[in-house]
A and B are shown apart, each in its own frame.
Chain A
Amino acid sequence: MAEYNMHILVCGGTGCKASQSELIKTNFINRLNEYGLDDEIQVVMTGCFGFCEKGPIVKILPDNTFYTHVSPEDAYEIVDEHVIKGRKVERLLYKDPETNEPVGDSKGMDFYKKQIRIALRNCGFINPENIEEYIGRDGYAALGACLSEKTPDEVIKTIKDSGLRGRGGGGFPTGLKWELTRKSVSDQKYVVCNADEGDPGAFMDRSILEGDPHSVLEAMAICGYCIGADKGLVYIRAEYPLAIERLKTAINQAQEYGLLGTDILGTGFNFDVEIRYGAGAFVCGEETALIHSMEGLRGEPTVKPPFPAEKGYNGKPTNVNNVETFANIPPIINKGAAWFASIGTEKSKGTKVFALAGNINNVGLIEVPMGITLWEIIYDIGGGIKDGREFKAVQTGGPSGGCLTKSFLDTPIDYDNLIAAGSMMGSGGMIVLDDSNCMVAIAKFYLEFTLDESCGKCTPCRIGNKRLFEILEKITNGEGTPEDLSRLRMLSNVIKDTSLCGLGQTSPNPVLSTLDNFYDEYLAHVTSASCPAGQCKSLVHYTIDAEQCTGCTLCFRNCPVGAISGEKRSLHYIDQSLCIKCGVCFEKCKFDAVLIA
């Protein structure tokens, strides 16, 4: 086997692939061939590095060089300079957002410093399409150990002791779930992997499947061994083509190597995995809806009990876990429950992957220990708020979650603290908002999402959320009344109280949470018909400050609808009847002469 003395890792996540990372890889290989270095230097396409904001990412090992925003042509320069001459291409290095100095060693990047990568351990490190690289990283060792050296009860005990809780949102103890399914008596049971990631902005499950599919397959087999199932199903949305492709490759390879199929590792244990495609309905993340969808029925939830652990897919006991949950299983088996339980807080163990987005400098996927504070995430890992604006809130838990304000910046993040703070963990979406975000509009945004994604089965979610949305729309249009605010709260409470499934029961959370934390902002909308953040178009109008305007004509030239008039070097004027409130004049003006009122 050829020994390489340098590895060039090219990110093959969906984001980087969309920016031609495939071509980058080809260019690397071609250039290395020209130099005759192809047997000394290996080019590997890996899963996502998480730092998607800076993609396409190229990492060079062993010297840990982290190149960002790499173009296909840059590949030539990297080979010529870095590989051949040993000079790092400074232009492409990650730059510290504070000092603007290039960082040569990715170990020194704040983005990675505070991360602990367990679920993402192999993402951006191995070639997900090569099972041997996975095996080289202890892959399938956990499965082997379970099958050969442990009883199912012992494995379940390890999972229970580790304190692992479901990463899909609910936070139900994973070991307990396995135990319940194990106890159900049936001739057939199923292991289902929920890869129906639906929170807006969340993509950790996709990244894991793209970057490390075998870890999920291995965990599913371990789960099958524990609960007594020989069949696994991955329910994945059809709009994740790359993840599906990599998963298929992984399943084929695992079967070829005898790590899936019959008599695995000579232990007599049989387990195989099939893929089921979803059409991307958010509600199908709810496990009963997911199971119906897999059965070919309309994806809508049914009342629990019975729980899937008793009656799931095809009426048989079924254990449903989310991708990230599964990805944590092999390390727990390999390193022990105590190791895992040593990370995190009292009731939330291990790490959590968050999709960091919104008005923050470092957008991307991060894996952090439970108990980390919001401050650390936003300022240390996330590099602070974009454009130096002021932090206002962070939305966690997606459409089921809520907003956390400044006062929660120092709260350790775990399942229970987030709920106590009026939000939830959810699948790990984390959207950072600054003072330019209107909280009423944010609540409306999430509700609109829920409205689209509700299955429509139960009245409160189908009609109640629509009415809730309409009230919010009225408020953002400046037509709201103070009574609407109490009506919002009353209706929200009834929807929470009466909805059939988790989607409806949590759908008013963004409304309630913003009402609780930003009541004044709501009040401004309904009492003085103004939007303090200047985001609600119906409530703002743009004017030109006579003192500041220099008559530079920049706004006049950029206005898309010709609403601005004025001669050179004289005061300009905005015709309110023509203005569409696009905000271009405000952005373009160099003299702060455009005012939002």
Chain B
Amino acid sequence: MEMINLTIDNKPLVVEQGTTVLKAASGIGIDIPTLCYMKLEDMNIENKPGGCRVCVVEIKGRRNLAPACCTEVSEGMEVNTHSIRAINARRTVVELILSDHPADCLICAKSGNCDLQDMAHHLGVRQIHYQGEKSMYREDTSPAIIREINKCIMCRRCETMCNDVQTVGVLSAINRGFQAVVAPAFEMNLDHSVCTYCGQCVAVCPTGALTEVDETGAVIRALSDPSKTVIVQTAPAVRAALGEEFGMEAGTLVTGKMVAALRSLGFNYVFDTDFAADLTIMEEGTELLNRLSAFMAGDKTVKLPILTSCCPAWVKFFEHHFPELKDIPSTARSPQQMFGSIAKTYFADKIKVKRENLVVVSIMPCVAKKYESSRPEFSVNGNPDVDFALTTRELARLINLGNIDFKSLPDEEFDQPLGESTGAAVIFGTTGGVIEAAVRTAYEVFTGLPLPRVDFEELRGMEGLRKATIDFNGTPIHIGIAHGLGNARKLLEDIQAGNSEFHAIEIMSCPGGCIGGGGQPYHHGDAEILKKRQRAIYSEDTSKTIRKSHENPYISKLYEEFLCAPMSEKAHHLLHTKYFDRS
């Protein structure tokens, strides 16, 4: 690799050819501000349209200013990142953006988390010298995502996520000139589009243009209704990220504090989606083994690979794009929906509360879960199994409304019986976790032998596409893992073409799995945060005494008392679902 000599702000440095000015500068502690630029290091995700022009710098001998994010260094280059010309241009550009931006920062959903707000503050913008017409677009509300595109600054991050990473292709720039904005084609509503509600657009939006539907108000009303029994379930990835909302280091596990906070907020029972994750393994694992055994016995009607079905965005994705494959994914409902279903039958009976008076709230790292809980097949006589699905961020808002000093809360334990879980359940929160949990149980059931080791390192990591072969005591089981729908698409195309080598595939829509979900605290482009959350998830797994789903005593009890056996008729009715052709 050729090395390049240059100076940035009079500091000489040597960097590899191909390095951008932005990266070269950051290497010597010069922090050139950026707005549209986003890179998730090591995850192959980069948004580099060079559109906002905030990162412009002055380069000696160049006619105009250069965007640092997409200008590569060259030999002898002399860069000045804070010449008066660069500062003036940078501030003018931000003023221009602000001149076409609603000035409702005080009440904006993104206030305090807004990259544009931060930028204006960072540059000390105190006056907007250019005033004029502002873009006016209608607001678009869907079951999960609100588009308030008056606040769109054309950074194109959402477009990169929706098109390049997820290959969903709903969001792209439309119109021209001053009217240009990112929206679905023909400005159609999101809920008429093939949007999967994965929420990755929301996760990366620098402003309040894309946010989740906020249901905290409805939950507060339910909590204050004496006729209602309100129970809550918390997804595995939430505990690894919630602390960030309260200024804690990324990757801090806050399971106990979270339980304490929820109890303090007035939830009658604080349960764990992890319990339902263990239940999912029982159902999905059994389905896998059934299919596998039949396949190995030569049954040609059996379809392999089996695909996981925990992720609602992924489910909607294949319903739209690969409807002909809809009998391949496991029919098992997601843990959220299994929990809702069991809560409103088994548990409601247990505490003798009528279904209508039992309110199930879930705390999810996800915005698609809002959509999932609203799917009609997950309700009984119009009463949904899960009433409200809040994101991690919404929970933080609830905690703030509850005047709770989160950081100093003591740890508390989940309630029983739906609060007990194993280490296998908690790793559902990261890519590779569901399939690892399934392997832990399937191995023992298939071989009748105890696992020689519980940790399957070969299934872990952050690579977008991974594969591993697990030796089921002489039978090699080929496993594929994809996170990010673009990666999932590749595996599906292989299946379509009949080239798939796998027996089972785990698919998660969000990069990193649920830890990187669209409902998590904003990562602001820092992939390190996702990695820290992942480490936290695995450490929670390690700390558990029971680490295989089929060993969860409350699960065994549930089957004994209520469901009989995995894949039983009752289990089918309550824990499985079917998929629809939405193409």
Contacts and interface: CB of A to CB of B under 8 A. Distances in A.
Contact of A463 (B70, B72, B89, B99): B99
Interface stretch (A447-455, A509-517, A571-579): A447-455
A472 to B, nearest CB: 11
A457 B50 CA distance: 9
Interface string B105-140: 000000000000000000000000111110000000
B45 interface: no
B162 interface: no
A460 B180 contact: no
Contacts of B177: 451-456, 462, 465-466
A116 B498 CA distance: 65
A494 B131 CA distance: 16
Nearest to B90: A498
Given A452-B176, A494-B88, A460 B96 contact: yes
B173 A463 contact: no
A464 B130 CA distance: 9
Nearest to B72: A305
Tell me which of B96, B100, B133 has the highest count of chain A C-beta atoms within 10 A of its own C-beta. Answer: B96
B83 to A, nearest CB: 11
Contact of A459 (B53, B85, B176, B179): B53
10 contacts: A455-B176, A459-B54, A459-B96, A464-B96, A467-B132, A498-B53, A498-B93, A499-B64, A500-B67, A505-B64
Nearest to A461: B177
Interface stretch (A156-164, A295-303, A422-430): A295-303
B50 A458 contact: yes
Given A303-B67, A303-B70, A305-B72, A457 B51 contact: yes
Given A303-B50, A458-B53, A459-B53, A494 B93 contact: yes
A289 to B, nearest CB: 11
Nearest to A452: B177
Contacts of A438: none
A311 interface: no
Interface in A240-280: none
Contact of A498 (B71, B89, B181): B89
Contact of B93 (A451, A452, A459, A487): A459
Interface in A178-228: none
Contact of A462 (B54, B72, B133, B178): B178
B417 interface: no
A239 interface: no
Contacts of A497: 56, 64-65, 85, 89
B19 interface: no
Contacts of B97: 459, 463
B172 interface: yes
A131 to B, nearest CB: 39
Interface of A: 281, 283, 298, 300, 302-303, 305, 451-460, 462-467, 470, 487, 490-491, 494, 496-500, 505
Interface of B: 49-54, 56, 64-65, 67, 70-72, 85, 88-89, 92-93, 96-97, 99-100, 129-133, 153-154, 172-173, 175-181
A63 B218 CA distance: 90
Nearest to A283: B176
A298 B54 CA distance: 23
A501 to B, nearest CB: 10
Given A457-B49, A460-B93, A498 B65 contact: yes
Contacts of B93: 459-460, 464, 494, 498
Given A456-B154, A494-B88, A505-B64, A500 B50 contact: yes
A358 to B, nearest CB: 25
Q: Please provide the 5 A-B residue pairs with the shortest distance between their CB atoms, ordered closest to farther.
A: A456-B180, A454-B177, A467-B130, A470-B132, A463-B96
Nearest to A464: B96
A458 B176 contact: no
Contacts of A470: 132-133
Contacts of B52: 458-459
| Interface SS of chain A | helix
A490 B181 CA distance: 26
Contacts of B71: 303
Contacts of A464: 92-93, 96, 130
A457 B180 contact: yes
B99 A456 contact: no
A241 to B, nearest CB: 23
Tell me which of B54, B72, B132, B173 has the highest count of chain A C-beta atoms within 10 A of its own C-beta. Answer: B132
A490 B96 CA distance: 13
A282 to B, nearest CB: 9
A300 B130 CA distance: 25
Contact of B179 (A456, A458, A500): A456
A383 B50 CA distance: 47
B48 to A, nearest CB: 8
A490 to B, nearest CB: 8
A416 to B, nearest CB: 15
A467 B70 contact: no
Given A456-B154, A497-B85, A498-B65, A466 B51 contact: no
Given A467-B96, A467-B130, A498-B53, A457 B178 contact: no
B472 to A, nearest CB: 43
A32 B222 CA distance: 93
Contacts of B172: 298
Nearest to B54: A459
Contacts of A467: 96, 99, 130-132
Given A456-B154, A462-B154, A300 B50 contact: no
Given A298-B173, A463-B96, A496-B64, A487 B180 contact: no
B53 A451 contact: no
Given A491-B92, A498-B65, A455 B180 contact: yes
B117 to A, nearest CB: 16
A283 B53 CA distance: 18
A491 B95 CA distance: 11
A433 B49 CA distance: 39
Contacts of B65: 497-498
Contacts of A462: 154, 177-178, 180
Contact of B130 (A283, A455, A491): A491
Contacts of A455: 173, 176-177, 180
B177 to A, nearest CB: 4
Contacts of B50: 302-303, 458, 500
A298 B159 CA distance: 12
Contacts of B153: 459
A456 B173 contact: yes
A498 B56 contact: yes
Nearest to B94: A459
A456 B53 contact: no
Contact of A500 (B53, B129, B131, B176): B53
Contacts of A466: 100, 132-133, 177-178
A465 B133 CA distance: 12
Nearest to A468: B130
A498 B64 contact: yes
A448 to B, nearest CB: 10
B129 A459 contact: no
Given A463-B100, A465-B177, A497-B85, 14 more contacts: A283-B176, A298-B173, A303-B71, A305-B72, A459-B51, A459-B52, A459-B54, A460-B92, A462-B154, A463-B97, A465-B178, A466-B132, A494-B88, A500-B53
